[in-house]
Amino acid sequence: MKMMFMSMIAAYLCGNVYIFVRALQTLSNLSLGWKLVFSLCYWIAALALVFTFFVRNVELPESLSQGLFSIGSVWLVFTLYMVLTLLVTDIAKLFIPALKPYGFMASLGFTVCLLTYGYFNYKHPDINRIDITLDKPLQGKPMKVVAISDVHLGNGTRKPQLKKFVEMINAENPDLIVIGGDLIDNSLLPLYQQKMQEELNQLKAPMGIYLAPGNHEYISGMEECERFLKDTPIRLLRDTIVTLPNGLQLIGRDDRSNRRRTPIADLMKKTDASKPTLLLDHQPYEVAKKDSLGIDIQFSGHTHRGQVWPLSLLVDNMYEQSHGYRQWSHSHVYVSSGLSLWGPPFRIGTDSDMLVMTIR
């Protein structure tokens, strides 16, 4: 994992050096003073996200922390698409020399337009609706469940955006709300600064609101997350089973960041096989194995489906099920791409989503 992280940092820095060199070539007519100003601004933007990650638990002024995070996260995806388009234009110039004066500016214009579309797409999440009929008894009327994942509250998903999400959820009048991990991003500081518990306290569901932790709850600090959640109606489930009044058994599995978490087979032994089960497990690994254990419904997140193309192609090949709904031999499985995002506020080739399940 450490080697992968270092490789990603190295690739990111190499991409930025490539863009920087090409930009200086385009700005060759500027004076040395203006080139120095450009260079300083460029590398502040390029290194901003790395800086904010390493000082995520340092109490900086909110405007500074938010500003650096926003610049850095936007720059991350800007780098990806700028490198890709520059490579295309630089190769094209070998065959069409007349393109040489326009390559950088054409790449810049295309990238800006693409990011504008990606931001608009991110701000309009899909509401996906599925009906699930089980062969086990469910007492009372069919139940409506709103399932979300990967909200990433913090400097990226701020209180105004959370307010919109809460309104979306409550508009469905759910019986039950479940959260498949990564409710919190990298630190609790922005949540306390913005008093986000005030919005979370507006969530309403008569059968309860439950959260299974994700890897970002561990990045933020699990004990601190637990303290924060005590001031909200959200109940954290860590290898815990809750039987709802209608008989549905809700299994909240701890994230695989905890290497000592309870094996799923052992959790299933604690359930009543005659009653339906809904498993919350943040990272969608071993879906087929869980299906073989007789779990009726599985809900996960974590993948974001890569957030942007072409990372979505990589993620699609990493998981048995990277996103969306699929019925396996027994289980109904839904992997959310995330209601919000980690870091860059763009959806290109993927969509944010909220699931509304009617269980009969």
How many helices (H) and strands (E) would you count in the chain? 12, 12
Reported as type and span, the H/E element at residue 118 is helix 103-122
Confidence of residue 101 (pLDDT cuts 50, 70, 90): confident
CA dihedral 322, 323, 327, 330 (to 10 degrees): 50
Closest CA to 83 of 15, 169, 157: 15
Other CB atoms within 10 A of residue 211 CB: 27
Q: Are residues 93 and 166 in the same domain?
A: no
Q: Are residues 114 and 134 in the same domain?
A: no
- % of the chain with per-residue pLDDT over 70: 99
pLDDT of residue 157 exceeding 60? yes
Confidence of residue 173 (pLDDT cuts 50, 70, 90): very high
- Rounded to a whole number, what is the distance in angstroms from the first to the last CA of the chain? 42
pLDDT of residue 54 exceeding 90? no
Q: Are residues 236 and 197 in the same domain?
A: yes
Q: State the residue range of the domain holding 246.
A: 126-359
Indicate the residue among 105, 122, 139 that finishes a domain: 122
pLDDT of residue 266 exceeding 80? yes
Give the pLDDT of residue 13: 92
Confidence of residue 278 (pLDDT cuts 50, 70, 90): very high
Which three-class secondary structure state does DSSP give residue 325? strand
**What are the strands of the beta sheet with 297-300, ordered from one edge?**
240-243, 249-252, 277-280, 297-300, 332-335, 324-327
For residue 223, give the CATH number of its domain: 3.60.21.10
Q: Are residues 56 and 34 in the same domain?
A: yes
Q: Are residues 190 and 283 in the same domain?
A: yes
- Rounded to two decimals, what is the model's pTM? 0.90
Distance CA 146, CA 173 (A): 9
Q: Are residues 118 and 133 in the same domain?
A: no
Q: Are residues 109 and 34 in the same domain?
A: yes
Contacts of 253 (CB under 8 A, 6+ apart): 212, 237, 239, 261, 262, 264, 267, 279, 280, 281, 282
Q: What is the DSSP letter of 331?
A: -
Averaged pLDDT for residues 48-66: 80
Give the pLDDT of residue 1: 57
Indicate the residue among 58, 87, 122 that finishes a domain: 122
Q: Are residues 45 and 133 in the same domain?
A: no
Indicate the residue among 77, 99, 122 that finishes a domain: 122
